[in-house]
Structure 1
Amino acid sequence: MGMKVKEVADLVGISVRTLHYYDEIGLLVPEETTESGYRLYSDENLETLQQILFFKELGFPLKKIKDIIYNPSFDRQEALELQRQMLMEKRERLDQMIATIEKTIKHMKGEILMSNKEKFEGFDFRHHPYEEEARKRWGDEAVDRANAKVRNMTKEEQKALSQEMESIYQKLAVLRHQSPESEEAQAAIKEWHDFLNNHFNQYYTLDVFKGLGQLYVEDERFTKNIDQYGEGLAEFMRDAMRIFADKNKK
């Protein structure tokens, strides 16, 4: 039997209200809700909660955490190893900031002199190295690399690429009212998979390809661009890409 929300809150040291909020935004949905309305959390839920709290400790916003942990390419062990590295780096930075505080106190007492540079040792707000690293592993780096390659193409190459892409979109748009599992749909989506792998600086593994399909629906920019070829095409492609990935992994 799963743990009730109050039990989880007491175990972890967070509020019941926080767990309710995580449920509301789809960040941590309990494994089961009883007929009486009790939320029951499984061991898998607790593992997910641990991931959430590690990322939260590292300064990630909840929306970014949700994007990361529900990305199809997310690997929990890899995440833990990365989080350990991030926390060790954070500990080193905090140790340096504590040392700066201690030196500042001595400086105020007249015991030592501090340079202006020494007063700010340990501070660095220029970037968020943890988010940058997570973005490389689970974010949209592949999209950035693809865009970079397109920018380096000649106008003729870009035109040919665009025409080939539009041809595939139009073919899929015609098929979008069929089952995404049909032979025709799967043949067309394989053509899309081959197109991506042949033209961009990124090898789209089956898991990445599947995740990209999900992005077509979750990111309204993708949805708008794809659905201009036919309403509902983004959802159809997502489903076809998921089926293609799952079938070809077997």
Structure 2
Amino acid sequence: MTLVGEHTRSAGATVGAAAELIGVTVRTLHHWDAIGLASPSGRTASGYRLYTDADLERLERVSAYRQAGLGLDAIAEVLGGDATDGIVATLHAQRARLASRMRELERLDANLERMSLAHERGILLSDEEQRELFGDAWDPASAEGARTRWGGSAQWAQFAERSSRRGRAEWRGLAEGLAALQDALAEAMTRGVAPGDAEADELAERHRELFSELFPISVSMQVCLARMFESDPGFAAHYDGIRPGLASWFRRVIDEAARRRGIDPESATWR
């Protein structure tokens, strides 16, 4: 649609009328005028500037290329050139930039989707993949239960943030590390390693470092976890299923390791 054809005042259009015809603001026209992109060339008898038909045609072209996504500098080059090939090259370059931006937006959208799902589900693996990595006794619904229990905590948010970036290989490495630690705990208990021994302290720190892959865990927080491992029926059954009495022995190991680091297990808090 040609806007100039609708403009019947051959004497020209005021900035307000021109802005309404083009569909932009007066401030936009003032800016285009200030940078020399599209300026009114007519004047009233009183000296007020007016947009002539030719000026309105230029405004229409500026608006068309602006809606196509070109920057003002690129529009100035397009309007200032005579060769169609130059215009086509500029438009192709703009399409290439848009394609790159679209790919970036798709990547960001995928990341946002993973982050959202991680906050909702915790572990971004299928039920089958979780059982394969964590064992047949693993209940995939436990992650959702953890969200119900700790979803409002900073630690759940940190867990979800890390989980969103963790793939199958990373989960496998973590699962293998935890399984190896549990075997080492059972073997140390069987050999009679006592809580407070150097080896027991090393195992406690190894546990804290591994769990810190999920979210940062302080020594004080680890003491609270050990209390839960012993008192919670599900966790206690898991550890005692590896070796009878392991849950209580491991809790004492962590308590003694904490004492050596100046933390009283009896007053330890989740911080």
Q: TM-score normalized by structure 1?
A: 0.40
Q: Which has the larger radius of gyration?
A: 2
Bigger relative contact order, structure 1 or 2 (CA pairs below 8 A, ≥6 apart): 1
TM-score by length of 2: 0.37
